[in-house]
Structure 1
Amino acid sequence: MLDEREGEVPRAQRDRAFNRQPVSKRIAVVVAGPLFNFLFALVAFWAVYLVGVDGLRPVIGRVLDGSIAEQAGLKAGDELVAIDGMRVQSWDQRRIYLFERALARKAVTIEARDGTGATRAHRLDLSTIPVAQINSSLVERGIGLVGYFPPYLPIVGALQDGPAKRAGMQVGDRLLRIEGEPIGSWESLARRINDHPGEPLRFTLERDGQRLDLTVTPDPVEHNGRKIGRIFIYPKFAEIPPEMRVKVRLGPLEAAGEGLRHVWTSSRVILEMLYEMLRLEASTSNISGPITIAQYAGYSARIGVDQFMLFLVAISISLGVLNLLPIPVLDGGHLLYYVLEGVKGSPLSERTMVVGQQLGIALLMALMVLAFYNDIVRLLG
């Protein structure tokens, strides 16, 4: 791009230099990048839902005790039908809308169908949720709704280096008994292990049709101020039954409308979350860096093309919003300069712009350090 501030421009081309263009043209140029981010997100969202997005039926698997969902009368087994009049077809479909309502300290009305087929409206006051709980676990921990999840089988699905592996336990082993008592569920097994740090436990398991007895001594691990036992095994999940799977498809016009709503709501959520962070109400741990983004990219790609495309939609919206922030060196910073120039009638002084750029670079560097720190904490955690 020709710009006399970047270097010498031939006399014959000076009238084409960027810095000599009207303010309106310069504004159009710097806004074009973020607008393309939003346009890509809209088109990608539209295309994905036109083809269909795989998901789980919006059936409540569990309602947390004392939660606002329980207070509103929602129960395990209820199926969500609509939120504030908007149809719900899969568990994750309206998650971003609930984010926005929670940040706005508003109430929502959830229509749910119970086991008898009756549909009832439940009003949930989201203003009671602490801002610190408005994060990726909002629906579960903040509202108290846990979606359907296939049960854990008492079968070793994975194991790390630790007591179980050292004792000879293997992936695929079916756990039958612990200390002679039948293992009713994975949860009861985990509680038994947690309660016996450093104490030998006798396991009876089945492998290739043969029964084996192993003695495993859980490692003592600090957790929430107390020692618990860990043997570092992880369960195998049962298959999700076909009746719990859905493919959400929308028509061209409905997909376009949903796409516009999603881009707008997501943008508002990002801005409101940044505002709450500046007020020190929301945790800065919500900021993610390249490591976490790469992990989510790989995770979504393994699930399917539709989820990977929705991941790209989220990234594109985030880039569009962040690029429009009035921080010098970003497009939003240049936009601020040009708006001030239009109001003032002349460009800002070179010194003012240089100082602004230095402050902008310092702020971006601080954000990058924070993002990398959060990534490393997540990896270690």
Structure 2
Amino acid sequence: MLDLLHTLVSFVCVLTVVVFVHEMGHFLVARWNGVKVEVFSIGFGKELFGFNDRRGTRWRVSAIPMGGYVRFFGDSDATSTTQDADAVEEMAEADRAVSFHHKRLGQRFAIVAAGPLANFLFAIIVFAGFFMTFGQSRSLPVVGEVMPGSAAEESGLLPGDLILSIDGTTVEHFQDVQRLVPLSNGEPLDVLVRRKGAERRLTVTPHMVDLDDGLGNTVKVARIGIQVSLSPDDMRRLGPLDALGAAVSQTWSLSADTLTYLGQMISGDRSTDELGGPVRIARFSGKAAERGLADIVMFVALLSVNLGLINLFPIPMLDGGHLMFYTLEALRGRPLTARVQEYGFRVGLALVLALMVFATWNDLSVLIW
């Protein structure tokens, strides 16, 4: 019971932070554009407690801690769908001035995009602070040891080889190798190395090996079977500018890698068993909290990147769906009809619910079986 309570508390704390950052992005840009914010809610459902600020916004914590929302003046619900068309037309001029749906297209676009962008910005700040405080591992990509029977041995990689690039992507540190090899999902890699001053090009086909994902689950991961000689000097604290650059690069890589993994799942090249939902996030939150401050901080940043990225998917109900509608509005010169938007949101809701059910089933099936 104590372990379960620890996991739940960790999960709620982690999720609350990233949701608060996301909704605060919407909130601040809406305020800057003169939109009245009626509700800022962490969680859904019945309000547990809250207060009203001097501008009339109700700040609340709700019973179901699985997200949050801001509701603008003129919205009919938490998804920022408009109120009845007749009611919107009958708005007084003073109400139109603070209504989200009466703002210019560019303003509405900025308000909606601000949520995901806030998550990315938050992750960059967290990563930069981490690299300045704890440091960043920057081991040279020099092969220290080649494991017997490994893909590296089969391809001809030797100890002392300096890895320069993998499939055309420049390798600066050994951590780049650790990131790029799993992305291959077992497909052959074009590896450029420097050996005794001369460059050599090798084809390395990673082996798919069974590894523990940190939660006791076995997952298949591409490995080439090399080790690097690590040194305490490899973990270096970075200055502010270097830390900021490394943080931007880290956020970009995480986003690009996530899209690659999702693309492989959609194409059938990667198992969808790796797709996790709230239960898996909760378990990772608990494990990260157990390992200490550094791990929980990095996990919060990682989750923030993923929340920002997922919300940009062009699915109605998500921020990306709204942005898709606004883009079509800009191209057409007028908004989509209310009926088209309504059907779009219904389809979007069905997709989001189906994805949540599937991911949760993956989580539960691991626990049960």
User: What is the TM-score with the length of structure 2 in the denominator?
Assistant: 0.63
- Correspondence list, 1:52-71, <5 A: 52-53=134-135, 63=147, 65-68=149-152, 70-71=154-155
- Cα contact 1:57–1:244 (8 A) shared by 2: no
Which of 366, 370, 374 lines up with 2:354 in the alignment? 366
- In angstroms, what is the RMSD of aligned CA positions? 4.0
Identify the structure with the greater helix proportion.
2
- Cα contact 1:103–1:269 (8 A) shared by 2: no
- Cα contact 1:132–1:281 (8 A) shared by 2: no
- Cα contact 1:63–1:70 (8 A) shared by 2: no
**Matching of residue 311 in structure 1 with residue 299 in structure 2:** yes
Specify the alignment match of 1:227 in structure 2.
none
- 2: CA distance, partners of 1:131 / 1:352: 46
- Cα contact 2:146–2:157 (8 A) shared by 1: no
Specify the alignment match of 2:276 in structure 1.
288
- Correspondence list, 1:229-378, <5 A: 247-378=235-366
- 1:14-58: CA deviation from partner (whole Å, max 9, x where unpaired): 132111111111110110000011101111111101112487978
Structure with higher Rg: it is 1
Following superposition, the deviation at residue 2 of structure 1 comes to 1.4
Specify the alignment match of 1:2 in structure 2.
73
Which of 39, 42, 60 lines up with 2:124 in the alignment? 42
Specify the alignment match of 1:107 in structure 2.
190
- Correspondence list, 1:78-157, <5 A: 86-88=171-173, 92=175, 95-99=178-182, 107-109=190-192, 123=201, 125=203, 128=205, 141-145=221-225, 147=227
Stretches of structure 2 lacking an aligned partner (at least 5 in a row): 1-71, 76-81
User: What is the TM-score with the length of structure 1 in the denominator?
Assistant: 0.61
Indicate how the Cα distance of structure 1 residues 133 and 258 shifts in structure 2: closer, same or farther if over 3 A, else same. farther
Indicate how the Cα distance of structure 1 residues 306 and 97 shifts in structure 2: closer, same or farther if over 3 A, else same. farther
Q: Secondary structure at the match of 2:222?
A: helix
Q: Quick one: higher RCO (CA 8 Å, sep 6+), 1 or 2?
A: 1
2:224 corresponds to which letter in structure 1? Answer: G
Following superposition, the deviation at residue 350 of structure 1 comes to 1.1
Following superposition, the deviation at residue 276 of structure 1 comes to 2.2
Following superposition, the deviation at residue 366 of structure 1 comes to 1.2
**Matching of residue 27 in structure 1 with residue 109 in structure 2:** yes
- Cα contact 2:182–2:222 (8 A) shared by 1: no
Indicate how the Cα distance of structure 1 residues 251 and 129 shifts in structure 2: closer, same or farther if over 3 A, else same. same
- 2: CA distance, partners of 1:135 / 1:268: 23
Indicate how the Cα distance of structure 1 residues 44 and 322 shifts in structure 2: closer, same or farther if over 3 A, else same. same
Indicate how the Cα distance of structure 1 residues 54 and 32 shifts in structure 2: closer, same or farther if over 3 A, else same. closer
- 1:127-157: CA deviation from partner (whole Å, max 9, x where unpaired): x4599999979x99523236589xxxxxxxx
1:2 corresponds to which letter in structure 2? Answer: F
- 1: CA distance, partners of 2:304 / 2:341: 28
- Cα contact 1:108–1:125 (8 A) shared by 2: yes
Q: Secondary structure at the match of 1:107?
A: strand
1:365 corresponds to which letter in structure 2? Answer: L
- Cα contact 1:135–1:286 (8 A) shared by 2: no
